[in-house]
């Protein structure tokens, strides 16, 4: 038994050795509802929240200015050039899409795998997914030379011109993959919200609040029939989302793998991109939840157990990613192809080599610390780890996009890439947009699924679907 | 010339029906002639005029005054406002635009809109005329081509001729004349000259001086000499900062008369170039013809043996790049080298002491080779070299028996050859002494480019009246009293002599855009026939001097049409050189020499405001927009200079600050400076770029000077180099290590450059294929069936790597033909050059004396184009004739095609690079090519507009033929479609045509065994293929290609 010998240890170390519970003891249905609902239905907005929103919204304005100038002048305000035709925009796109993976994975795949610990984090993870995909979705449009045309020419619209998109292009596949993913994620998230919206409607004091939540709750009454329908729908959506988790980043990886460019033209890209996406997605969930659980006193629901589980997922996906890096290097040597060999040599030792080694440090070397229980049990250590992994994953995309392009086939055309202030402005701007959206979410909707957490309580072990099957 | 814009009907804005006694225009005119106090007095007089009130009334209508005087009631105000609002909308229906609009009310005869016409004309240039055929779209000159019937050009051109089109439309051209900054017109100047002539008649024009550029126009020379007869004491000087002084001085020494050496490169087996740039551009007289002749012996397609080129040079020019054996040597050491060579060939001269072992070896092998080819060799001295070297070169040619065989002497092409340096000294002395009361500067820019120690600008103050005729308001305009705005050669009548003396007529294609006047008119003012127009001058001269029988008018029309005046080629002289070898004073080995050279892009500074040329990468060094202090790796390392450090170069006590640029293959202790940069008054394009090398170029050492000291400053200056050459394998600071260019080594490793020596080629003509190279996948090795092209045309191109001299004519031709924008230095620096065609340079071997390879690179029109499947909107597709086409309208600008293009030949409009604003540039554009807007990808189209023009012509003719024979077929014949780059190329290195036709030129070239596709092993199936290099080094000296590992050449030097 895990508790044996616990008393031999000083109290400060006991925590490392036991698996913390999924929900802190001593909660009742009422206390769960009350605690989570209070963050939404309170009249007093925390000052920290207001301050955070002001800062984040300020950054959104930077995004607006950067986008306005971009539309006015063209993509030439960025650092892209010949031969590096894609730069920050595509790096950011892939990075945000990757982050958007954790939400669906947590909600759908873990639901199907009956990992009940997911219930405390799935709501915010899904919200994070939606906002990350929104951020990601901006870039493909922003990066085009003529966004006013790209905005609709990339869709198969039956226009009078009779001209269709070119379905051989992976960029078109991307349009479908990302838009499908966003739509399904939104539906899934909203469906999961309905019972909680009903709770909010019933508890709201103010008339307007009640009307808004009432409309959103779509007549939820919590009858047994409602529950049966709801759970069927939720399961179906989970089933629908599961392949999407794999498909989206596979398609995104095809954006590169379909090309002839050394460093892009690689069959390992789909699995390695998906693993990387989950890796960065979980890192982002940690980045968000660790401060929030402290600020909102949610440690009872988002316990160390959640953090530990997520760090284990990161460890696993991080190793898949490491395998990917290794295979890239191995195949470039094993292929005997001079372009591939030079590509890898340049990636590791060329003028942008330090990005590669930073990426290896952030994505492979440092995360190995998570093997230590001590690190996994420290929220602060994990938070720093999540930042490191997020940076590492951004660098990975940068290395793939930029260093492959800057020295390709024809040596006369080798060039370099230098991001401009507008590149940074757009990137930081989307971080602001993401933060703003997330702050609004935690203020207006229950950040943790109330009804699902209630089902985690020992009193609730009657629902076969949400049954705690571990102990 | 029968159709001119004057023939068009111009609709002018409607004018008032009842004419007041005084019009505003009259009032303005009256005031414009007055200045200062007189202006105000005139204004008062004007107010008292009876018509003035009426004029005022018309200008400020009565109603308005009434409202002003009586005060405006609310009711009236609203009425007025309402009325004007309504009328504001109506004005568009009732008024003509203010500017004249030009429709064809009656279409001019023989003009079909959309079908261009071609006129023969000639571009004058200090090193000889360039015969041209200029395309005119609806009377607008839009493209300049060489005249295929003229022996000087064979239809080819050079960069300057191509880019001179932009000069015509340059918005910064001077648009009016002035006196001390006040606007004046031609008649004012006419009056001033008339006054002066009366005054000067007494003294025989003792104070009258003309300063022209090198005159190659027989008519202009005749006009000036006529004036000089009228004013016997007047003097005429010619000045070009890059002049042929040394060559002329040498011919005086040798023959006692001016003579011009002409070379027959097609007859030479061995050529030695000593600092000459005969393959490098128009700075060498006869470049176009010479490179054509020279390359004819390197195509290996005929039974003529391949020639061998030795180059001894102080800079890395394109001539040096083509050399089979090349020796970098300081310019000041080259005369000693020539003297040593002369002594080895038994013609006197000093011995070879003082040379290094490497140089000795080179000398001996060279002397042996020259002796073996006596009578079939050429020794060419550089234009930017001392008179001693020119003497020595002539003596070597004499010793080898080349004179009369491969080198012939004729009269110079200048009408009046002169020692321009001495002339300038004399003129400035006269100016300083106050002897000059009228100085007419006819074009040129002496304030900027005269020897700095003579102080032309300061002396100009002591001149009674100074006149400057110029198309631009340049530095000289600022200093001279009178400015007369000049004409472009496409706007005026003239004539000009080519380097071999052949005369051609310059006929205008357009009336002067800004009403300027040409040199002929200026000189005419001083003559007894001041009203003589340039046309009259030209016809008068040729009526007297034309050597053709028959009716002059008919002859003249023929001359205009042919662009050649018969029997004008200079007669061959057979002078015999006299005197011994000149004494040579070699420069101290440790002294640093500074060599001044004309810039390959902006020449002597005259093209500084030409954005096409400014943005044209200089050959070999690939620098745009600037000049720099160019030096060797070792020189930079020994002084601790880094690329782009600003250094101070002191010559004769004058200091120039310039950034360092390392040029591979330059001799040590030598700095080359390109002239013409650092302009202050060039115009919006040219101002402020580069560093003024004239600032340290004195009259004592105009070609090679000695740097007293070099100092490093703390500052740096960013250079826009379009190809990043700074990647070096070994540490550059160690002179003993062999440094290699990473790009050059990779180009060999990736089979982008394939090269063999002549012997190896003879042994194995298929050297460009085989196990050394990664071969293409077979044509049939494909999952999907190949497209069937057999029914129609299938276009393709071949580039002969052996023929390309890297002169850039194709680059500018492409830019002019395809309306490519100029992006500016800042954009170039970050890699956003918009040219569709570039000439890549790869340096292989030891960078202290590398071999440079030129590779024209443009869209390869791959059959398996990687760009096509990745475009999400299908904006780039394949045409049924094999072209990879770009649909600009459909492009949304994802740039995936650019990323996926292995050749990186696609160009993206990152911003709005095309100039939609400047009115004067609009008529310049080729109407058959879209001007691309922002956010759109573009690339080489194989000049699809020319293909389509030829197709339309063929189809029209087919229909006509079918009226008599229903089965008649008319296909596009080989040679009917010439791409712009192909047409401009002096060496026919680029050949385009239908590869379905087994007899077409391109097919024949492509079936050579040396034909290979760049990067075709990744299965792109490029339609543009390259013909592998064959070099012919003298292996006694060794080869410098240094291809590692697998090259045919230098297998012993195999390494990593």
In this prediction, residue B615 has a pLDDT band, given cuts at 50, 70 and 90, of very high
Which of B634-648, B743-757, B894-908: highest mean pLDDT?
Answer: B894-908
Q: What is the pLDDT of residues B624-636, one digit of tens each?
A: 999 999 999 888 8
Please tell me the predicted confidence (pLDDT) of residue A112: 81
Please tell me the predicted confidence (pLDDT) of residue A259: 92
Of B562, B492, B566, B545, the closest CA to residue B123 belongs to: B492
Q: What is the distance in angstroms between the Cα of A223 and the nearest Cα belonging to chain B?
A: 49
Statement: residue B353 has pLDDT above 80? no
Q: What is the CATH number of domain B245-410?
A: 3.40.228.10
Please tell me the predicted confidence (pLDDT) of residue B20: 46
Statement: residue B77 has pLDDT above 70? no
CA angle (A262, A265, A270) in 5-degree steps: 140
Statement: residue B213 has pLDDT above 70? yes
Please tell me the predicted confidence (pLDDT) of residue A53: 94
Range name among A448-462, B74-88, B282-296 with the lowest pLDDT average: B74-88
Statement: residue B75 has pLDDT above 90? no
Statement: residue B476 has pLDDT above 80? yes
In the predicted model, what is the mean pLDDT of residues B551-569? 87
Asked, for residue A5, whether it belongs to a domain, the answer is: no
Statement: residue B9 has pLDDT above 60? no
Residue recorded with tokens 């793998």: A257
Statement: residue B27 has pLDDT above 70? no
Measured between CB atoms, which of B902, B904, B1015 is closest to A82? B904
- Percentage of chain B lying above the pLDDT 90 cut: 36
Q: Is B742 on the interface with A (CB under 8 A)?
A: yes
Statement: residue B820 has pLDDT above 90? yes
Of B499, B247, B268, the closest CA to residue B406 belongs to: B268
Measured between CB atoms, which of B743, B872, B895 is closest to A165? B872
Cα–Cα dist B212/B520, whole Å: 12
Chain A CB contacts of B867 under 8 Å are none
Q: What is the CATH number of domain B114-240+431-548+561-570?
A: 3.40.50.740
In the predicted model, what is the mean pLDDT of residues A313-327? 92
Asked, for residue A467, whether it belongs to a domain, the answer is: no
In the predicted model, what is the mean pLDDT of residues B707-728? 84
Q: Do A85 and B899 touch (CB under 8 A)?
A: yes
Please tell me the predicted confidence (pLDDT) of residue B1045: 41
Q: Do B750 and A81 touch (CB under 8 A)?
A: no
Range of the domain at A449: 21-146+163-460
Statement: residue B2 has pLDDT above 50? no
Q: What is the ipTM of this complex?
A: 0.90
Fold of B592-721: Barwin-like endoglucanases (2.40.40)
DSSP letters of B427-446? HHHHHHTT--SEEEEESS-H
CA of B891: which chain A residue's CA is closest? Answer: A146
Statement: residue B271 has pLDDT above 70? yes
Q: Is B907 on the interface with A (CB under 8 A)?
A: yes
In the predicted model, what is the mean pLDDT of residues A116-126? 84
CA angle (B853, B858, B859) in 5-degree steps: 140
Chain B CB contacts of A172 under 8 Å are 872
Please tell me the predicted confidence (pLDDT) of residue B345: 84
Range name among A16-20, A300-304, A426-430 with the lowest pLDDT average: A16-20
> What integer best gives the mean pLDDT of chain B?
84
Asked, for residue A359, whether it belongs to a domain, the answer is: yes
In this prediction, residue B82 has a pLDDT band, given cuts at 50, 70 and 90, of low
Q: What is the pLDDT of residues A63-85, one digit of tens each?
A: 999 999 999 999 999 999 989 99
- Percentage of chain B lying above the pLDDT 70 cut: 86
In the predicted model, what is the mean pLDDT of residues B993-1017? 91
Chain A CB contacts of B935 under 8 Å are 74-75, 144-146
- 3-state SS, one letter per residue, for chain A: CCCCCHHHCCHHHHHHHCCCCCCCCCCCHHHHHHHHHHHHHCCCCCHHHHHHHHHHHHHHHHHHHHHHHHHHHCHHHCCCCCCCCCCHHHHHHHHHHHHCHHHHHHHHHHHHCCCHHHHHCHHHHHHHHHHHHHHHHHHHHHCCCCHHHHHHHCCCCCCCCCCCCCCCCHHHHHHHHHHHHHHHHHHHHHHHHHHHHHHHHHHCCCHHHHHHHHHHHCCCCCCHHHHHHHHHHHHHHHHHHHHHHHHHHHHHHHHHHCCCCCCCCCCCHHHHHHHHHHHHHHHHHHHHHHHHHHHCCCCCCCCHHHHHHHHHHHHHHHHHHHHHHHHHHHHHHHCCCHHHHHHHHHHHHCCCHHHHHHHHHHHHHHHHHHHCHHHHCCHHHHHHHHHHHHHHHHHHHHHHHHHHHHCCCCHHHCCCCCCCHHHHHHHHHHHHHHHHHHHHHHHHCCCCCHHHHHHHCHHHCCCCCCCCCCC
Chain A CB contacts of B937 under 8 Å are 145
Cα–Cα dist B240/B167, whole Å: 19
Q: Do B742 and A411 touch (CB under 8 A)?
A: yes
Range name among A272-281, B99-108, B504-513, B576-585 with the lowest pLDDT average: B99-108
Statement: residue B1024 has pLDDT above 90? yes
CA of A145: which chain B residue's CA is closest? Answer: B935
CA of B864: which chain A residue's CA is closest? Answer: A260
In this prediction, residue B1051 has a pLDDT band, given cuts at 50, 70 and 90, of very low
Q: What is the pLDDT of residues B30-65, one digit of tens each?
A: 666 665 555 555 566 666 666 666 666 555 554 454
Query: Which CATH number applies to B742-943+979-1031: 3.30.70.20, 3.30.460.10, 3.40.190.10, 3.90.1150.10?
Result: 3.30.70.20
Q: What is the distance in angstroms between the Cα of A60 and the nearest Cα belonging to chain B?
A: 25
Measured between CB atoms, which of A82, A84, A146 is closest to B892? A146
Please tell me the predicted confidence (pLDDT) of residue B244: 87
**Residue B1053, token pair as written in the block:** 């030097």
Measured between CB atoms, which of B872, B898, B909 is closest to A172? B872
CA of A342: which chain B residue's CA is closest? Answer: B746
Cα–Cα dist A351/A28, whole Å: 60
Please tell me the predicted confidence (pLDDT) of residue B333: 87
> What integer best gives the mean pLDDT of chain A?
87
By CB atoms closer than 10 A (0-12, 13-18, 19+), residue B103 is exposed
Domain ranges of chain B: 1-111, 114-240+431-548+561-570, 245-410, 592-721, 742-943+979-1031
Please tell me the predicted confidence (pLDDT) of residue B99: 64
Statement: residue A166 has pLDDT above 70? yes
In this prediction, residue A251 has a pLDDT band, given cuts at 50, 70 and 90, of very high
Statement: residue B546 has pLDDT above 90? no
Please tell me the predicted confidence (pLDDT) of residue B11: 39
Statement: residue B412 has pLDDT above 80? yes
Which of A317-331, B9-23, B247-261: highest mean pLDDT?
Answer: A317-331
Count of domains forming chain A? 1
Statement: residue A453 has pLDDT above 80? yes
Measured between CB atoms, which of B831, B872, B899 is closest to A261? B899
Is residue B629 within 8 A of residue B661, CB to CB? The reply is yes
Q: What residue spans of B441-595 are helical by DSSP H?
A: 446-449, 456-460, 475-479, 519-526, 534-545, 552-562
Q: Do B872 and A339 touch (CB under 8 A)?
A: no
Q: Do A166 and B906 touch (CB under 8 A)?
A: no
Of B692, B665, B646, B552, the closest CA to residue B241 belongs to: B692
């Amino acid at each position: 038994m895990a508790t044996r010998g616990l008393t031999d240890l000083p109290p400060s170390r006991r925590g490392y050795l036991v698996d913390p519970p999924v929900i802190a003891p001593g909660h009742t249905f009422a206390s769960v509802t009350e605690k989570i609902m209070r963050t939404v239905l309170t009249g007093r907005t925390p000052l920290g929240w207001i301050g955070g929103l002001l800062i984040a919204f300020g950054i959104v304005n930077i995004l607006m200015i950067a986008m306005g100038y971009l539309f006015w002048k063209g993509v030439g305000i960025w650092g892209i050039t010949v031969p590096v035709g894609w730069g920050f925009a595509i790096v950011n796109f892939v990075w945000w899409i990757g982050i958007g993976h954790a939400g669906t994975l947590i909600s759908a795949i873990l639901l199907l795998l009956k990992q009940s610990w997911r219930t405390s984090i799935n709501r915010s993870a899904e919200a994070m997914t939606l906002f990350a995909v929104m951020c990601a979705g901006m870039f493909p449009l922003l990066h085009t030379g003529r966004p006013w045309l790209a905005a609709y020419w990339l869709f198969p619209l039956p226009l009078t011109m009779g001209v269709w998109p070119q379905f051989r292009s992976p960029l078109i596949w991307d349009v479908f993959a990302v838009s499908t993913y966003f739509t399904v994620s939104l539906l899934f998230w909203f469906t999961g919200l309905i019972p909680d919206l009903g709770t909010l409607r019933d508890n709201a004091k103010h008339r307007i609040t009640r009307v808004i939540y009432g409309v959103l709750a779509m007549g939820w009454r919590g009858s047994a029939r409602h529950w049966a329908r709801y759970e069927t729908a939720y399961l179906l959506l989970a089933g629908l989302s599961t392949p999407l988790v794999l498909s989206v980043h596979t398609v995104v990886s095809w954006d590169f793998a379909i090309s002839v460019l050394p460093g892009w033209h690689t069959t390992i890209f789909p699995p390695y991109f998906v693993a990387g996406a989950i890796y960065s997605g979980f890192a982002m969930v940690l980045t968000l939840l660790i401060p929030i659980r402290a600020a909102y006193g949610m440690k009872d629901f988002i316990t160390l157990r959640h953090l530990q589980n997520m760090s284990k997922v990161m460890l696993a996906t991080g190793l898949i990613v490491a395998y990917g890096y290794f295979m890239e290097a191995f195949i470039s040597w094993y292929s005997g192809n001079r372009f591939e060999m030079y590509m890898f040599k340049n990636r590791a030792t060329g003028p942008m080599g330090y990005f590669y080694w930073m990426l290896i440090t952030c994505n492979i070397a440092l995360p190995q610390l998570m093997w230590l229980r001590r690190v996994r049990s420290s929220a602060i250590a994990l938070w720093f780890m999540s930042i490191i992994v997020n940076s590492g994953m951004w660098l990975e995309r940068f290395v793939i996009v930029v260093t492959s392009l800057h020295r390709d086939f024809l040596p006369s055309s080798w060039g370099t890439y230098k991001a401009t202030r507008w590149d940074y402005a757009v990137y930081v701007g989307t971080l602001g947009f993401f933060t703003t959206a997330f702050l609004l979410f935690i203020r207006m909707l229950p950040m943790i699924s109330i009804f699902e957490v209630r089902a985690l309580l020992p009193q609730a072990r009657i629902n076969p679907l949400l049954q705690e099957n571990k102990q | 010339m029968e159709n001119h814009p004057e023939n068009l009907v111009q609709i002018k804005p409607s004018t008032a029906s009842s004419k007041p006694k005084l019009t505003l225009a009259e009032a303005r005119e009256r005031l414009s002639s007055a200045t200062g106090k007189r202006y105000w007095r005139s204004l008062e007089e004007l107010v008292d005029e009876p018509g003035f009130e009426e004029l005022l009334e018309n200008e400020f209508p009565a109603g308005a005054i009434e409202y002003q005087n009586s005060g405006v009631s609310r009711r009236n105000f609203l009425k007025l406002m309402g009325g004007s609002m309504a009328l504001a909308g109506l004005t568009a229906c009732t008024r003509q635009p203010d500017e004249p609009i030009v429709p064809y009310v009656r279409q001019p005869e023989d003009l079909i809109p959309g079908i261009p016409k071609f006129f023969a004309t000639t571009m004058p240039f200090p090193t000889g005329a360039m015969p041209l055929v200029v395309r005119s779209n609806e009377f607008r000159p839009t493209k300049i081509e060489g005249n295929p019937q003229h022996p000087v050009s064979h239809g080819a051109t050079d960069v300057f001729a191509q880019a001179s089109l932009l000069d015509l439309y340059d918005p910064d051209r001077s648009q009016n004349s002035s006196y001390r900054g006040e606007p004046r017109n031609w008649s004012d100047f006419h009056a001033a000259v008339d006054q002066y002539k009366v005054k000067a008649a007494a003294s025989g024009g003792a104070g009258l001086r003309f300063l022209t550029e090198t005159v190659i126009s027989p008519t202009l020379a005749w006009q000036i000499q006529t004036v000089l007869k009228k004013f016997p004491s007047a003097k005429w000087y010619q000045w070009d900062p890059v002049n042929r002084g040394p060559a002329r001085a040498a011919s005086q020494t040798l023959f006692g008369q001016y003579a011009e050496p002409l070379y027959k490169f097609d007859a030479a087996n061995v050529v030695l170039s000593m600092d000459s740039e005969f393959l490098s551009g128009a700075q060498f007289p006869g470049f176009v013809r010479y490179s054509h002749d020279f390359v004819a012996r390197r195509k290996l397609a005929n039974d003529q043996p391949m020639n061998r080129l030795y180059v001894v040079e102080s800079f890395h020019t394109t001539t040096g790049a083509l050399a089979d054996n090349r020796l970098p040597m300081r310019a000041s050491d080259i005369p000693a080298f020539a003297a040593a060579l002369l002594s080895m060939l038994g013609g006197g001269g000093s011995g070879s002491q003082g040379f290094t072992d490497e140089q000795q070896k080179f000398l001996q092998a060279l002397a042996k080779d020259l002796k073996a080819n006596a009578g079939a060799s050429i020794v060419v001295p550089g234009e930017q070299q001392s008179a001693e070297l020119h003497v020595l070169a002539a003596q070597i040619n004499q010793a080898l028996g080349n004179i009369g065989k491969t080198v012939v002497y004729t009269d110079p092409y200048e009408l009046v050859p002169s020692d321009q340096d001495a002339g300038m000294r004399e003129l400035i002395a006269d100016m300083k002494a106050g002897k000059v009361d009228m100085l007419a500067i006819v074009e040129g820019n002496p304030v900027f480019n005269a020897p700095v120690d003579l102080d032309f600008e300061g002396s100009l103050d002591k001149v009674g009246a100074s006149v400057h005729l110029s198309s631009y308001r340049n530095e000289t305009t600022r200093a001279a009293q009178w400015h007369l705005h000049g004409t472009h050669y496409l706007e005026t009548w003239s004539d000009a002599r080519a380097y071999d003396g052949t005369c051609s007529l310059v006929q205008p294609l357009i009336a002067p855009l800004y009403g300027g006047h040409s040199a002929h008119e200026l000189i005419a003012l001083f003559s007894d026939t001041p009203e003589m127009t340039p046309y009259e001058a030209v016809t008068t001269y040729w009526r007297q001097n034309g050597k053709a029988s028959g009716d002059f008018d008919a002859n003249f029309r023929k001359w205009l049409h042919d662009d050649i005046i018969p029997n004008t080629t200079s007669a061959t002289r057979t002078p015999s050189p006299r005197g011994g070898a000149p004494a040579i004073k070699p420069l101290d080995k440790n002294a640093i020499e500074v060599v001044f050279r004309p810039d390959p892009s902006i020449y002597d500074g005259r093209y500084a405001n030409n954005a096409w040329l400014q943005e044209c990468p200089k050959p070999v060094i690939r620098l745009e927009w600037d000049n720099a202090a160019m030096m060797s790796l070792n020189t930079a390392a020994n002084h601790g200079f880094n690329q782009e450090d600003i250094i101070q170069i002191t010559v004769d006590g004058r200091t120039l600050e310039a950034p360092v640029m390392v040029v591979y293959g330059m001799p040590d202790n030598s700095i080359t400076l390109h002239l013409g940069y650092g302009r202050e008054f060039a115009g919006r394009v040219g101002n402020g770029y580069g560093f003024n090398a004239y600032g340290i170029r004195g009259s004592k050492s105009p070609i090679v000077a000695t740097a007293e000291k070099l100092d490093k400053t703390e500052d740096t200056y960013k250079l826009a180099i379009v190809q990043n050459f700074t990647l070096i394998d070994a540490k550059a600071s160690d002179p003993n290590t062999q440094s290699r260019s990473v790009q050059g080594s990779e180009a060999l490793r990736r089979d982008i450059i394939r090269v063999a020596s002549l012997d190896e080629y003879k042994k194995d003509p298929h050297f460009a294929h085989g196990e050394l190279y990664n071969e293409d996948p077979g044509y049939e090795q494909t999952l999907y069936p190949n497209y069937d092209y057999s029914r129609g045309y299938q276009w393709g191109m071949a580039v002969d790597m052996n023929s390309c001299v890297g002169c850039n004519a194709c680059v500018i031709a492409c830019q002019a033909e395809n309306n490519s924008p100029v992006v500016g230095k800042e954009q170039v620096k970050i890699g956003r050059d918009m040219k569709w065609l570039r000439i890549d340079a790869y340096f292989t071997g030891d960078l202290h004396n590398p071999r440079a390879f030129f590779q024209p690179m443009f869209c390869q029109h791959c059959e398996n184009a990687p760009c096509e499947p990745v475009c999400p909107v299908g904006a780039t597709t394949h045409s049924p004739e094999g072209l990879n086409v770009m649909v600009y309208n459909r492009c949304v600008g994802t740039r995936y095609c650019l990323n996926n293009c292995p050749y990186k030949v696609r160009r993206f409009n990152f911003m709005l690079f095309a100039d939609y604003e400047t009115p004067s540039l609009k008529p310049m554009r080729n109407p058959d090519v879209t001007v691309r807007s922002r956010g759109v990808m573009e690339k080489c189209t194989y000049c699809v507009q020319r293909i389509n023009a030829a197709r339309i012509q063929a189809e029209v003719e087919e229909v006509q033929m079918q009226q008599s024979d229903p089965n008649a077929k008319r296909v596009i014949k080989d040679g009917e479609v010439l791409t712009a780059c192909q047409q401009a190329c002096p060496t026919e290195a680029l050949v385009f045509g239908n590869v379905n036709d087994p007899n077409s030129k391109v097919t024949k070239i492509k079936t050579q065994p040396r034909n290979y596709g760049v990067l075709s092993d990744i299965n792109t199936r490029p339609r543009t293929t390259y013909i592998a290099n064959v070099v012919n080094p003298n292996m006694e000296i060794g080869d410098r290609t240094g291809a590692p590992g697998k090259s045919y050449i230098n297998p012993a030097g195999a390494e990593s």
